[in-house]
Amino acid sequence: MPVIAEIEDLRRLYRRRTPRMFFDYAESGSWSEQTFRENTSDFAHLRLRQRVAVDMSNRSTASTMIGQDVAMPVALAPVGLTGMQCADGEIKAARAAEKFGVPFTLSTLSICSIEDVAAHTSKPFWFQVYTLKDEEFMRRLFDRARAANCAAIVLTLDLQVLGQRHKDLRNGLSAPPKLTLKSIANMMTKVQWGLGMLGTRRRFFGNVVGHAKGVTDPASLSAWTAEAFDETLDWDRVRQFRDMWGGKFIIKGILDVEDAQKAADLGVDAIVVSNHGGRQLDGAMSSIRMLPRIVDAVGDRVEVHMDSGIRSGQDVLKALSLGAHGTYIGRAFTYGLGAMGEAGVTRALQIIHKELDTTMALCGERDVHNLGPQNLIVPQGFDDPTMRL
């Protein structure tokens, strides 16, 4: 067994063990992938301030996200098709998250359904929804999330239309995978993955098939996803969704100060500064560079979370130091899942936690709540979208 020292080790194993089509789905951005790349590379422009001879004992990474206790302010982000990365993937990831003490967010485009994940976990998870046209389906999704005791809705606002991902087009991505000579040849080399998939009945989009009108098989599902997203969305509609749910409400996909202000005006519980992991508007700024301005503008009114680009505990520390109240990892836990199932997600969380804790110590901090600008050296213009770094 190779030594798993960092998230990159999990990524390497994941790449070896998972069919190409699903690895590529996770490991891609839209179009030229500039934003996908900059989400991670921009973290490297932030340097840490080393402090010495301070009491570093009794450190704590414990915090809260939307009032919920968390072992560290790192939630698992909603990731579509997680149950294709590894059999029963959403259930495994949710279990790892609950054992670790961090929130798990289930995607609407998951393979395991809301009910299935609820039946196999014991703590309330969060549920992500897209803004879909089908009002009845949306109401039913909220009802199902309520019945499953979900603790929050995470509404994705940056996917009214899909950003084109070239790799997915070339691979003919679908769930379950289309059987072509190329995909069969590739899957035959992924023995562990194949055995897992043969052993589960969860191979379709569990929240949609049999629930959305006219969607009974995967072929009609692709037609449904192409047509389902609401291009006419506006802030009134967002307000309606918030009222339809009536509980804790998080808006995801904010990358602009004006949009952040509008979201804060709605009185939501949190916003997630996010560009969808670079999967939607390629050429948009990285989340980490937009974070400071958004925190400045609305941080006193709403909890500001961030995702896109976090691959280490040091990245988490940098986001928290720039004012994020919480963070999310998507790819980082997906690598773990594809590499080693539930144990791999646990390993990803342990790695991030250890890196966060040790870095905190070397920065001379004992409590995540005390992290702030004093822990960073930020290059001039970092938070200015008009400046090149």
Length of the chain as a residue count = 389
Q: Residue 364 region, left (φ>0) first, then alpha (ψ -120 to 50), else beta?
A: left
- Binding mask of the shown chain, residues 105 to 134, with x at each position contacting ligand GLV by CB under 6 A: ----x-------------------------
> Is 325 marked active-site?
no
- Strands annotated E in the chain: 47-48, 63-65, 68-70, 74-76, 105-106, 126-130, 152-156, 249-254, 270-273, 303-306, 326-329, 376-377
Catalytic residue among 276, 305, 325, 353: 276
Q: Which is nearer to ligand GLV, 9 or 168 (CB)?
A: 168
Smallest gap, in angstroms, from Cβ of residue 39 to ligand GLV? 13
Choosing from 17, 242, 279, 293, the residue that interacts with ligand GLV (CB under 6 A) is 279
The Cα–Cα gap between 150 and 369 comes to 27
252 annotated among ligand-binding-site residues: yes
143 annotated among ligand-binding-site residues: no
- 151 token code pair: 């603790």
45 annotated among ligand-binding-site residues: no
Give the type of residue at 77: A
Smallest gap, in angstroms, from Cβ of residue 54 to ligand GLV? 42
Residues 74-93 that bind ligand GLV (CB under 6 A): 80
289 annotated among ligand-binding-site residues: no
- 180 token code pair: 């072509």
The Cα–Cα gap between 314 and 257 comes to 25
**Residue 159: which residues within 8 A CB-CB, separation 6 or more?**
130, 131, 229, 253, 276, 280
- Is there binding between residue 159 and ligand GLV (CB under 6 A)? yes
Pairing assessment for the beta strands 270-273 and 105-106 based on DSSP bridges = unpaired
Smallest gap, in angstroms, from Cβ of residue 276 to ligand GLV? 6
89 annotated among ligand-binding-site residues: no
Q: Which is nearer to ligand GLV, 53 or 161 (CB)?
A: 161
Residue ranges of the annotated binding site are: 25, 78-80, 107, 128, 130, 156, 165, 252, 274, 276, 279, 307-311, 330-331
Q: Which residues bind ligand GLV (CB under 6 A)?
A: 80, 109, 159, 276, 279
Catalytic residues: 276
